[in-house]
Amino acid sequence: MKKHITQLPIYILGAVLLLTSINCADDELFRDKNTNPEAFVSIDPSIQLTGVEAALSGGWFEQWRANLIYGEGFIQHLGGSWSVANYGSFYISSSEYQGALWNSNYGGGIVRNLIDVLERTDGKAEYTKINAVAKTLKVMVFQRLTDTYGDVPYSQAGLGYYGKIYYPKYDNQEDIYTDFFKLLDEAQSQMQSGTDAIKGDLFYAGDAVKWQKLINSIRLRCAMRISKVNSTLAKEQIQKAVTNGIFTSNEDNCFMKHDSSPSETAGALTNGNGMSHAIKGTGDLVDHPTTILLNTLGNDPRKKIWFLPNSNGVYEGINPNNYRWDHPGGGGAILSNLQPYLYANNAPYLHLTYSETMLLLAEASFRGLHSGNTADLYKKGIEAGIRQWSIFKDASIIDDNAVTAFVATKNLTPGKELEEIATQQWLTLFLNGMEAYSNYRRTNFPTLIPITNVNSETGGVIPKRMPYPIEESTSNKENFLAASAKYNNNSWLAKVWWDVD
């Protein structure tokens, strides 16, 4: 690894360093200062894709604010610290935190690097598969953005140089999802027809077969996301995903293999895990499992995989209405903590898993959108969701007998099937707070602990989206105002298109 790291700075300057910049909120517009036609000419597109893959989970700025504080706090996986409790659990507004994902993706360079790769590789036979990877990553990036904010700059984003578009419109979320499926169709076809090698790939080391499985597993996630507003299209895309081939085991999981360097280290190939940096904060662990998470786990083997018992040998969680120092009986000192391997610098980051695909298919089957066996898919999803955590340390953290015995007990309860399936989706997305938050808004399960804390700005109502950054009101005013009006003057209590319940 050290050999590669010492050779990379000259290349990564065009990718990782651009991707981790957070101080240029309007860089996605490519205004005059960013229209240098020589900017990326000398950089191999594969190097840019390396940077994009690393940045998706390697940036502590958005991982701390969007993923931990708001994501994990909103959906009550973790809580207790000042920031996660105050802003996430109590639903208190912070424009800096709300805009973190937006600014890291548009202003930090992820979007402009992706668009640059797509433009420079379009229609070129020697980059057929690289272009397919870029299209897949574009769906991954913009799915997270549009699910978080609603309508976002999409079709014109990053086209300041290529299209002289300095003030991109905000596309309707419905149109964005329609284009997702088009991009995935193109990526699937190109992966099959292309003869070029996929270089610089940190997810699958250039394995085109695994990329095809990822393409269709993303298709399944997107189809389920829109399934309550367009069940016909959702069913069509679910069938296409299954026919083309989705994940078939944990060996197919899409995860980032971070290295042990600190997050956002200049010149590092893969960078440390941004979520790990967020969890560690200034050095002390100050976030703990919630009571609802521990109670839901029960005798689930993941309880021991994820957490340490307190000094009394008890797994103790925090009520999301409390700061850690308010916890009865001894404050934060008697609360359970995360297992150290979950927040190591080199901890991997799970983007999309076999467990999630099986649980989504179980839901689709129960709702008549797929012909599979609901009970079987449900159990497969649970077992995979337990075993997937072995990548954070090794197989020793998995008790095979305990897993087998536990899964055998997981039979769906008549009348509660959707709740139980969605609850398992909530569990399998642990530490992926942004995605868990989106899936929770779609399913409304599990039933979270009511927030009655008097400090809540929303009266205990969980926000429905993140507001657009205030900087957009000056850098892209006309389009910002039009989009904001659609969401009740940019309110975070206004629902996005697919959130109909």
Selected residue with higher pLDDT from 29 and 176: 176
pLDDT above 70 (res 223): yes
Whether residue 23 is predicted with pLDDT greater than 60 in this model: the reply is no
Which CATH architecture is the domain 2-271+456-486 placed in?
Answer: Alpha Horseshoe (1.25)
| Main-chain phi, psi angles of 207, to 5 degrees | -80, 105
Instruction: Quote the CA–CA distance of 473 and 81 in Å, as a whole number.
Output: 32
- Select from 8, 102, 59, 77 the least CA-distant residue to 476: 102
Would you state the pLDDT for residue 5?
27
pTM: 0.93
Q: What is the mean pLDDT of the chain?
A: 91
The answer to whether residues 266 and 17 touch, using CB atoms and an 8 Å cutoff, is yes
Region 414-435: what's the mean pLDDT? 98
- The yes-or-no verdict on residue 127 having pLDDT over 80 is yes
**Could you tell me which residues come within 8 angstroms of residue 107 by beta carbon, excluding any fewer than 6 positions away?**
21, 22, 23, 24, 25, 26, 27, 28
Identify the band that residue 42 occupies on the pLDDT scale cut at 50, 70 and 90: low
Instruction: Look at residue 26 and tell me whether its pLDDT is greater than 80.
Output: no
d(CA 80, CA 287): 5
Question: 216 pLDDT exceeds 90?
Answer: yes
Question: Average pLDDT in the 241-253 region?
Answer: 98
For 314-360, what is each residue's pLDDT tens digit? 999 999 999 999 999 999 999 999 999 999 999 999 999 999 999 99
**Please, what sign has the CA dihedral across residues 259, 261, 265, 268?**
negative
Say how far apart CA 173 and CA 341 lie, in whole Å: 37
Does the pLDDT of residue 230 top 60, yes or no? yes
pLDDT of residue 38: 38
Which whole number is the average pLDDT over 378-398? 98
307: β partners: 338
Q: Give residue for tokens 């284009």.
A: 179
pLDDT at 28: 33
Q: What confidence tens digit (pLDDT) does each residue in 404-413 have?
A: 999 999 999 9
Residue 8 pLDDT greater than 80, yes or no: no
Distance, CA of 115 to CA of 446 (rounded, Å): 37
Question: What are the contacts of 393-400 at 24+ separation with CB within 8 A?
Answer: 393/341, 397/304, 397/305, 397/339, 397/341, 398/301, 398/305, 399/301, 399/304
| H/E element, 131 | helix 128-149
Listed in order, the ranges of the chain carrying CATH 1.25.40.390 are 2-271+456-486
Residue 431 has pLDDT above 70, yes or no: yes
DSSP 8-class letter at 197:
-
* Residue 494 neighbours by CB distance under 10 Å: 17
373 vs 266 pLDDT, higher one: 373
Task: From residue 75, give the alpha-carbon distance in Å to each of 173, 291, 446, 459, 466.
Answer: 23, 12, 9, 16, 14
Bigger pLDDT: 38 or 350? 350
Residue 16 above 90 pLDDT?
no
Q: pLDDT, tens digit, for every residue of 149-185?
A: 999 999 999 999 899 999 999 999 999 999 999 999 9
